[in-house]
A and B are shown apart, each in its own frame.
Chain A
Amino acid sequence: MRHKIHSGLDSAVADIPDGARIMFGGFGGAGFPNNLIQALAQKGTKDITAISNNCGTRDGELGLMFKNGQIRHVIASFPGPHATYFQQQLAEKKVTLELVPQGILCERMRAAAAGLCAFYTTVGVGTEVAAGKEERVIDGKRCILEMPIHADYALIKAETADQLGNLTYRLAARNFNPIMAMAATTTIVEVDEIVPLGSIRPEHVVTPAIFVHRIVQAKGIRYAG
């Protein structure tokens, strides 16, 4: 059996180099890999390109990494009203932003996961999002061409992993996590619990183990607000 379980958060993120492209799961305070984020903050990896729905909630979630100046470019859908450190860094031009419609952010990651080269969509036609993108008419509808989003790493949060890395998620804490797990070259998951093989019913697996490379058990931290 492949050895995927790490005993500590630090060893799980130890090889992430400066300049890495990293996806971070989570939405609305739920499903953020907060412990892995803290480990990466401590490690001090710099010049990160972050792919995430939002840009942190004050010190919470990705906020810590913006506060530390670790992120150079971010691809996000909704930076958020409480992304104070991101706003600061953006105003000081220390970070650049690509703003992407939320569902298109998902599909661009899914295209990367699925080995697709690009796709056309009506979303964003005629808006700022279309700037610089190829446009064509398909079936009478104006469409723009969207490219995949790849990443070196995905840091995600799940509720349960078995020793192979089959994952289940709790309630709406699923959100972006399964998509990012499929899209990144190396997926690192923090979970509430690691369970023996066979204790997750195969038909209940949400993320199959093939997408999961490192597993670490960690108690989640949640930031309200």
Chain B
Amino acid sequence: MPAKLRLTRDQIAQRAALELPNGAYVNLGWGIPNLIADYLPKDVEVYFHSENGILGMGRRARPGEEDYDLVDAMKVPVTLIPGASFFHQADAHLMTRGGHLDVAVLGGFQVSEKGDLANWKIPGAKGPGGIGGAMDIAAGAKKLIVCMEHTTREGAPKIVRQCTYPLTGLACVDTIVSDLAVIDVKPEGLMLREMAPGWSHEELQKLTGAPLLSLGRASEMKFV
């Protein structure tokens, strides 16, 4: 039997983009979340926040247009949209921590069934790791979405009963968008909302380290 299809990183970003409400203030983290800006539906306008003190960040700068005093959190030269503003890093994180952002999207190494997130250090990896803004963002976003592959490269579940990697925050994740599913973290557990085309609840459960609940049949993931 041929292997079933899983979403690409761009398709995960495409699906996650549909979670952003019109007019929202949004912070996008490293990795897959950074791709989301390219996939906003035409009728949706959101305002991107960057932890280095930008609100109203636009698309990436084109060759010749780069200004290295105007970069995003990944050091990539970007542009501004009309109505943008600058502020210092303390105010940038006042926005993340203080519940002023509507949605934040982060990458993840592990998410637990209680919504704990581990996303800054892989045990045994070289060097001390780097927290950056992730803990402030995890603690304060009104809604936190995590985009990640459903399993590690070795096939181990990244959605688990309890995180074994160094934690970023406790009970902070609201929604997981993976290459196989959309899952909401609810008080009663992990609620399977959508499944990748061709996958069943039972098949997804086998690749998930914690029980997947659902109210009736989960629908098919939309990402186009």
Contact = CB atoms under 8 A, between A and B. Distances in A.
B175 interface: no
Interface string A76-105: 011110000001001000000101111110
Which DSSP category, helix, strand, loop or mixed, fits chain B's interface? loop
Interface stretch (A9-17, A41-49, A119-127, A194-202): A119-127
A27 B89 contact: yes
A137 interface: no
B5 interface: no
A215 to B, nearest CB: 19
A172 B86 CA distance: 6
Contact of A178 (B67, B88, B128): B88
A110 interface: yes
Contact of A78 (B50, B68, B97, B131): B131
A79 B97 contact: no
Contact of A176 (B89, B96, B131, B167): B89
A131 to B, nearest CB: 11
B94 A103 contact: yes
Nearest to B93: A103
B86 A171 contact: yes
Interface in A167-181: 169-179
A97 to B, nearest CB: 6
A28 interface: yes
A28 B72 contact: yes
B130 interface: yes
Contacts, number: 135
Contacts of B75: 28-29
Contacts of A171: 67, 69-70, 86
B56 to A, nearest CB: 12
B68 A222 contact: yes
A106 interface: yes
A88 to B, nearest CB: 11
Given A78-B131, A79-B127, A126-B170, A103 B96 contact: yes
A24 to B, nearest CB: 13
B217 to A, nearest CB: 35
Interface stretch (B33-41, B133-141, B183-191): B133-141
A128 interface: yes
Given A127-B166, A127-B168, A103 B133 contact: yes
B179 interface: no
Interface of A: 27-31, 53, 77-80, 87, 90, 97, 99-104, 106-107, 109-110, 121-129, 142, 169-179, 206, 222, 224
Given A126-B169, A171-B86, 7 more contacts: A101-B131, A103-B96, A109-B90, A123-B135, A172-B50, A172-B69, A179-B89
Interface of B: 50-54, 67-75, 86-90, 92-94, 96-97, 116, 126-136, 139-140, 166-170
Closest 10 CB pairs of A and B: A103-B93, A103-B136, A106-B90, A101-B135, A78-B130, A78-B132, A171-B69, A173-B69, A28-B75, A126-B170
